């Protein structure tokens, strides 16, 4: 009896052409952005020689410096808060027996991933506007709260995946040796969970660092982050300085994602 041939998408006609086309459309604009960040002229479409002047201009720009510091502070706070909330959420959805409403809890935690970001931004704008009117406070705490809430599912997913891949026998052995639940978590679960926690924190950091929509809706005057500053520049005049800033952000994001990838790999 002839063996039935399994379906393989790579053997379908046109697969290679379509895949290459997708990669070109995805990565060619990024390559051009990086290349023209080294353009000696002020044009973003005409090559006029190699130069690092736009990196120097961005480095010396006080507005860029302020926006960069604000972005790093905001992303750091959001990453820590989101990760601190994601760890108990991941434990509550992996270390308990299935219960009524489990799917609803999982959906609520991952709500920012399923709802369009613009909807979340408008909802946060209305909510924080009511608080601003009632309290008169207009500081950076609103951005920290908004970014933290939005980043929770991004920190939650790698932590939950790490918990699901861990050997429960070690935790059960600790409980059999009369360790309290907290001792089991601190001495058995947490040391194994650290790669997932670090990966989740870095992913949340990158998401917060790159966010534009929520930041643009929630921020007050004088609270520009680096992405919103770049958006404002694009509305006025486009120069390779924006390319240079984008290239640096790209390098930071790629570095963080690479580290995230290695930390998320299951170790034998």
Task: Residue 228: give its domain's CATH number.
Answer: 1.10.3720.10
- Which SS3 state, helix, strand or coil, does residue 232 take? helix
Which residue would you say has higher pLDDT here, 148 or 165? 148
pLDDT of 2: 52
Q: Say if residue 213 is in the same domain as residue 89.
A: yes
* 67 occurs within a structural domain: yes
Please give the C-alpha separations between residue 111 and each of 162, 163, 194, 197, 200, in angstroms, as whole numbers: 21, 21, 25, 20, 17
pLDDT > 90? residue 264: no
Chain-wide mean pLDDT for the chain?
Answer: 85
Indicate the range of 84-88, 131-135, 192-196 predicted with least confidence: 192-196
Residue 259 pLDDT greater than 90, yes or no: no
pTM above 0.95, yes or no: no
87 and 45 assigned to the same domain:
no
CB 161 within 8 A of CB 196: yes
Question: Are 125 and 17 in a shared domain?
Answer: no
**Contact indicator for 190, 162 with CB cutoff of 8 Å:** no
Label each residue of 137-205 as H, E or C: CCCCHHHHHHHHHHHHHHHHHHHHHHHHCCCHHHHHHHHHCCCCHHHHHHHHHHHHHHHHHHHHHHHHH
Residues 6+ apart with CB under 8 A from 10: none
**Quick one: 120 and 240 in the same domain?**
yes
pLDDT score recorded for residue 185: 80
Quote the domain boundaries for residue 143. 62-264
Q: What is the pLDDT of residue 122?
A: 93
Domain membership of residue 21 (yes or no) is yes
Instruction: Output the pLDDT for position 112.
Output: 83
- Are residues 181 and 145 part of one domain? yes
167 and 116 part of one domain: yes
In whole angstroms, what is the distance from residue 107 CA to residue 102 CA? 9
* 151 and 78 within one domain: yes
DSSP β-bridge partners for residue 39: 50
Dump pLDDT digits (tens) for 214-249: 999 999 888 899 889 888 887 777 778 888 888 988
Q: Which residue has the higher pLDDT, 256 or 40?
A: 40
Indicate the pLDDT class of residue 3, thresholds 50, 70 and 90: low
**Predicted pLDDT at 268:** 43
Q: Tell me, yes or no, whether 66 and 169 share the same domain.
A: yes
The residue whose two tokens read 């924006």 is 242
In this predicted structure, what is the pLDDT of residue 205?
A: 92
- In a shared domain, residues 149 and 181: yes
Shared domain check, 37 and 150: no
21 shares its domain with 104: no
42 neighbors 240 (Cβ within 8 angstroms): yes
- Does a structural domain hold residue 2? no
Residue among 203, 216, 75, 217 nearest 147 (CA): 75
Query: Which of 154-158, 232-236, 264-268 has the highest average model confidence (pLDDT)?
Result: 154-158
């Amino acid at each position: 009896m002839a063996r039935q041939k399994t379906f393989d998408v790579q053997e379908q006609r046109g697969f290679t052409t379509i895949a290459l086309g997708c990669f070109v459309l995805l990565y060619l604009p990024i390559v051009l952005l990086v290349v023209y960040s080294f353009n000696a002229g002020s044009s973003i479409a005409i090559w006029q020689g190699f130069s690092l002047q736009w990196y120097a201009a961005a480095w010396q720009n006080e507005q860029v410096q302020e926006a960069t510091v604000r972005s790093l502070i905001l992303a750091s706070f959001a990453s820590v808060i989101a990760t601190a909330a994601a760890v108990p959420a991941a434990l509550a959805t992996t270390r308990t027996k299935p219960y009524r409403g489990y799917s609803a809890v999982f959906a609520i935690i991952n709500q920012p991933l399923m709802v369009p970001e613009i909807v979340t931004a408008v909802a946060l704008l209305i909510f924080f506007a009511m608080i601003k009117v009632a309290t008169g406070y207009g500081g950076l705490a609103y951005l920290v709260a908004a970014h933290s809430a939005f980043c929770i599912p991004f920190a939650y997913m790698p932590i939950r995946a790490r918990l699901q891949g861990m050997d429960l026998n070690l935790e059960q052995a600790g409980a059999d040796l009369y360790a309290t639940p907290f001792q089991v978590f601190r001495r058995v679960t947490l040391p194994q969970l650290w790669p997932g926690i670090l990966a989740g924190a870095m992913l949340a950091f990158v998401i917060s660092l790159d966010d534009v929509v929520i930041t643009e809706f929630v921020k007050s005057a004088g609270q520009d982050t680096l992405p919103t500053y770049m958006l404002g520049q694009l509305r006025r005049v486009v120069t390779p300085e924006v390319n240079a800033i984008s290239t640096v952000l790209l390098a930071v994001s790629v570095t963080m994602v690479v580290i995230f990838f290695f930390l998320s790999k299951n170790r034998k």
